[in-house]
A and B are shown apart, each in its own frame.
Chain A
Amino acid sequence: MSAPRGKTQLGTSALALRVLGVVAVAGVVATVWLGLFVTPPDEFMGNLVRLLYVHPPMAWVAFLAFGVASLSSVLYLWPRTRAEHFDRLAGASAEVGLVFTGLTLVSGSIWGRPTWGAWWVWDPLLTTTALLFVLYLGYVALRRVPGEFHVRARRSAIAALIAFVDVPVVYFSVEWWRSLHQAPTVLNPTTHKTYVHGSMAWTLLLGFVSFTLVYIWLVAHRYRLAEMQDREDDEGLEVALAERRAEASV
């Protein structure tokens, strides 16, 4: 006996999602190929510039993911828009965001070692990103605590907002903390972007697009998984009971 069918949902086997996945992976492969083999080395940074085709897109996806998680948390808390899918979207997006924040920190660190001479510098942006990483680790840990759906969803949504409100306070305080100390004489990757052109600009743009597609693809899968987990929680026991009863009656 199969599980009772719920309302129609977007399955992971849906054609659109498969196409999206293929395009996203192809985009990343193309970015890597262009970044490593086609684009020229930078005049100042040499081959190090190749990391910049993936690092800013990763950071962008990380911030996009946390933005989506915060927005869906607000929509869940707002009584008029409260719906289960906003909670699942918040959870899925935050988890994917964590992965990309981790990748951002690692790729930034690899770039920083030869550029700044250290794996880590206490730059405002880096410090904020690292704190953001731990903040959302806590959020995801809280989400994993079992409980009734709406209780868990409301508590997670409030925790997401507590974390989200903290981000600007952290950023500005860390910035003052550094600027009162010393002006960090570091090469800012964001200002550097103004100098990229030609094949480099296209590669960077492709990086942004394909990493965003990867984000959507991963969130869709994670969302679907969360939906199935919730259904398993709701119906798992009933289905198992029905199956056992059916066996007994044979």
Chain B
Amino acid sequence: MLRDAALVAGKDLRIELRSRVGLNQVGPFAIAVLLLFGLALGPDRAVLAPASAGLFWVAVLLSTLLAVQRSYAIESADAARDGLRLSGLDPAGIFLGKAGAVAAQLLVLEVALTIGVALLYGAHLSGAVVLVAACVTGTVGLAAVGTLYGVVASGLRTRETLLPLLFLPVVAPVLLGATKAWNEALAGTPGRAGTWLDVLVVFAVLYIAIGTVAFGPLLEDG
């Protein structure tokens, strides 16, 4: 299963490296979102800095939608999805591979966004361990739910509009937990982020478990 996951993740990341859609489109989109938040809230750093954790994670959530849609767009051309089904790979492995590739791309994006909030909003980066831990656990949860709903929506004609409606309410705990963990870290009290990291871990484990079980039937149906 893990070998299959590595194969699928390698394939997705290789396509990404060659096509550079993430680099050329998803990344700039996230930066644009950061700039627009700045415009919406005004130039006052006393307002922007405390809000930077929340704005960072909303930008990540929106970017996840694009990353997931892209992850399934590459399967829709040339009946690649049928090829994936015929490949004999373990569906749980395919799920983990696709989610892993999405998570890897998002983590790279989050590095850029972190620099963005530090520069644009004047967020004082502290508590690096908590920041990174929240990014990793939160992103794994987002990628798991995104990949799961992505396969639900991927075969449908209304996938572009349906995916956000399905995805965003479910990941509310990630937004909440990751934002709170970041707030504690940025406020210089990373020790109080423990509960929130727990929420992120529970969420990620829960949806990875559901995904490994449910992905097979969903892939077959599409």
Contact = CB atoms under 8 A, between A and B. Distances in A.
A134 B167 CA distance: 10
B76 interface: no
Interface in B6-35: none
Interface string B182-213: 00000000000001100100110011001000
Contact of A155 (B168, B169, B206, B221): B221
B107 interface: no
Interface in A143-177: 145, 147, 151, 154-155, 158-159, 161-163, 165-166, 169-170, 172-174, 176-177
Interface in B143-185: 145, 148-149, 152, 156-158, 162, 165-166, 168-170, 172-173, 176-177, 180
Contacts of B158: 145
A250 interface: no
Contact of B169 (A138, A142, A180): A138
Nearest to B163: A138
B190 to A, nearest CB: 15
Contacts of B133: none
A141 interface: yes
A166 B173 CA distance: 8
A173 B165 contact: no
Contacts of A176: 195-196, 199
A169 B156 CA distance: 28
Given A145-B162, A165-B206, A155 B152 contact: yes
Point out which of B152, B156, B169, B217 has the most chain A C-beta atoms below 10 A from its C-beta.
B169
A249 B107 CA distance: 70
A154 B217 CA distance: 8
Contacts of B176: 173-174, 177
B218 interface: yes
Given A169-B202, A173-B199, A138 B166 contact: yes
Contacts of A22: none
B214 interface: yes
Given A155-B218, A158-B152, A162-B148, A169 B180 contact: no
Interface residues of A, number: 28
A149 B12 CA distance: 32
A145 B145 CA distance: 20
B210 A137 contact: no
Contacts of B217: 154, 158
A103 interface: no
B201 to A, nearest CB: 11
A155 B220 CA distance: 11
Contacts of A147: 156
A161 B218 CA distance: 13
Contacts of A162: 145, 148-149, 170, 207, 210, 214
A23 interface: no
Most buried by B among A134, A163, A166: A166
A145 B156 contact: yes
A131 interface: yes
A159 B218 CA distance: 10
A64 interface: no
A135 interface: yes
B203 A169 contact: yes
A161 B152 CA distance: 13
Nearest to A158: B214
Contact of B162 (A141, A158, A165): A141
A78 to B, nearest CB: 13
A111 B158 CA distance: 38
A145 B162 CA distance: 9
Interface string A20-45: 00000000000000000000000000
25 contacts: A131-B169, A134-B168, A135-B169, A137-B165, A138-B162, A138-B165, A142-B152, A142-B166, A154-B221, A155-B218, A155-B221, A158-B214, A158-B218, A159-B149, A162-B214, A165-B206, A166-B172, A166-B173, A169-B173, A169-B203, A169-B206, A173-B172, A173-B177, A174-B176, A177-B176
